[in-house]
A = this chain, B = another copy of it.
């Protein structure tokens, strides 16, 4: 059952194209300063994380995205890959560095002009100019187009006046704001000459050199959160704060000295979504960070599961470890498979991100596919991480609940990944909208008031392109051959057919149900969408699952080493069959899977998990993490040591013959004696 694998070779596949950046990123975990400590108070944790941000600047990774003339490489995925790996040091570091270099720096890079780059970008990417990304407001979380902060142009002084008109317009959950930022990129409704030109971004200083809020700026501290203690989230409010006209990041919209507005993109909606699109990096990096956190958790739980014995007698004759148990395998092996699938899917996402942002292929179509995938993968992977970490936590029992074993901290930190950079349910509706648009043109331009809101405003004025879904809307009958029942349930073709068919049917069913919306009043259309919101979200998840399965399937086909290819096949089958089991009701309800095959699935999955378990250690070794990344007491071999000590004690005691007789044995012996005597 056990295959002969080389973990380093698998690690090379996993670390992939950006292996060097990944290894640089995870090297930050070597310095204890970057580590989370539950005993740290808020200020200590924040100060340590800031030090980590400085260390990140020193690696030079934040500079790679800059144009060559500024010392950069015009490489965009490199720093993302590097940042993701800092989750091994501390998720707070990944987020704080992400805010500083990816969001604050990224906004200046993508929305600013070259003068602004000179003025702020080098300082930002070197960690000298600390900044916030002030988009979200209390009153508007996911609905960014509705932010209420205003930037009103005053032609007399050639300044913008920034205002928070009411409490709900306060910028909220802003990273770096509570403690460190001296400036913020603020998203506000740009008003000039009595006209509101929609949301634009401005560079706004918020603190003076002494670290105190500038006049008109109110800063509040969000205080304790469910996790991410090292990130100083806070609230920003503005009262007639004036900034120079040239502080408007003006790539997609500018105001002349006299107050005249101009923009290279005529449609205000399209302009807004183009601006937002440049910020897709955040979602891409959360997808990758979720994979890293899941790897760490599995690395810890698998090692412990291979050592820890349960329900063994006092002697050392029984060797049953946790991972020998069928249920334990069923908890951890599908998780392992989904992490492998997600890692390879993420690599494809990064590749597409690099293509778009380096300019290698920045067609509108490629950009749209990137945005759809980033939204879809971010939603699925952040939820996966929460599930995987929790499964690992419980699989480690009471030890899993101890802070020193890392799992509870990782889960607490990752919790909000499901919410920020776009709430997962909102993102999945955006994906659903794209899938519908691919399926039939009338959905592509469906933006009737309320209805559009229900499936994500962002889609409203966006030109839609194919999502990369190969055959959305093809005839279902093509996908099935009459002799399906005779195929082995593990057949890759069967898995693909089932996953693809399910998505196809879901899309055409939902499209059918929603078609009347195109001819309805906005209110009624909204109601109709609302009735089908659950199916829209399920449909979007079916899309991600298929994409991830395909990524793992492709990677499997690339393997040349026989055993390595075989273990990849086991991973693919475990992932694929887990998905089919999860949606079994659907496959049965739509007659896609014969009952006889369906009933085999549980047993087949059980056998696959047992096979994967034989190489479980190789598969976590392949993550490339050492103790300095895991830092969990239970994954250090301490458990095996304790057991050896206990076994040794019993052995010696028995050898000395001073081991007390067990009462049960005594009774048994007495009974046998009595029996013998009776005879």
> What residues of chain A have their CB less than 8 Å away from a CB belonging to chain B?
38-39, 41-42, 136, 138-139, 141-143, 146, 148, 152, 165-169, 172-173, 189, 191, 194-198, 222-227, 268-269, 310-314, 318, 320, 324-327, 330, 386, 390, 393-394, 397-398, 400-404, 407-409, 411-412, 415-416, 418-420, 423-425, 450, 453-454, 457, 526, 530-535, 537, 581, 584-585, 588-589, 591, 595, 598-599, 602, 606, 642-643, 645-646, 648-649, 660-664, 666-667
Contacts and interface: CB of A to CB of B under 8 A. Distances in A.
A313 B197 CA distance: 15
A255 to B, nearest CB: 13
Given A166-B642, A646-B168, A398 B416 contact: yes
Contacts of A581: 585
A400 B412 CA distance: 13
13 contacts: A141-B397, A143-B310, A143-B311, A166-B642, A167-B646, A172-B398, A196-B660, A224-B404, A320-B526, A326-B531, A326-B532, A394-B418, A401-B416
A402 B224 CA distance: 7
A600 to B, nearest CB: 11
Contacts of A419: 394, 397-398, 400-401
A368 B536 CA distance: 47
Nearest to A147: B314
A663 B193 CA distance: 11
A602 B535 contact: yes
A562 to B, nearest CB: 28
Total copies of the chain = 2
Contact of A398 (B420, B457, B661): B420
Given A146-B313, A146-B314, A318-B450, A326 B41 contact: no
Contact of A646 (B148, B152, B661, B664): B148
Contacts of A194: 660-661
Contact of A268 (B138, B172, B198, B663): B663
Contacts of A138: 642
Contacts of A584: 585, 588-589
Given A148-B646, A419-B401, A531-B606, A197 B663 contact: yes
Given A268-B664, A325-B530, A643-B139, A226 B412 contact: yes
A401 B660 CA distance: 55
A226 B393 contact: yes
Contact of A649 (B38, B166, B196, B313): B166
Most B CB within 10 A of own CB, among A146, A148, A398, A531: A398
Nearest to A268: B663
Contacts of A222: 402
Contacts of A404: 223-224
Nearest to A38: B224
A403 B223 contact: yes
Contact of A310 (B141, B167, B169, B227): B141
Contacts of A191: 660
B401 A268 contact: no
B534 A602 contact: yes
Contacts of A450: 318, 320
Contact of A225 (B226, B402, B411, B415): B402
Contact of A196 (B325, B397, B420, B663): B663
A415 B401 CA distance: 8
Contacts of A327: 425, 533-534, 537
A40 B488 CA distance: 58
Contacts of A412: 226, 408, 412
Given A223-B404, A408-B412, 6 more contacts: A138-B642, A195-B660, A197-B663, A224-B402, A224-B403, A311-B457
B195 A663 contact: yes
A584 B585 CA distance: 5
A168 B404 CA distance: 18
Given A313-B146, A327-B534, A589-B595, A139 B423 contact: no
A590 to B, nearest CB: 9
A589 B588 contact: yes
Most B CB within 10 A of own CB, among A165, A314, A401, A531: A401
A42 to B, nearest CB: 7
A424 B310 contact: no
Most B CB within 10 A of own CB, among A42, A152, A166: A166
Contacts of A165: 649
Contacts of A148: 314, 646
A386 B387 CA distance: 11
Contacts of A648: 166
Nearest to A429: B327
A403 B84 CA distance: 25
A606 to B, nearest CB: 6
Contact of A198 (B168, B313, B663): B663
Contact of A167 (B402, B534, B642, B662): B642
Contacts of A418: 394
B39 A646 contact: no
A226 B398 contact: no
A141 B642 CA distance: 14
Contacts of A197: 663
A660 B190 CA distance: 10
A324 B648 CA distance: 64
Most B CB within 10 A of own CB, among A404, A533, A599: A533
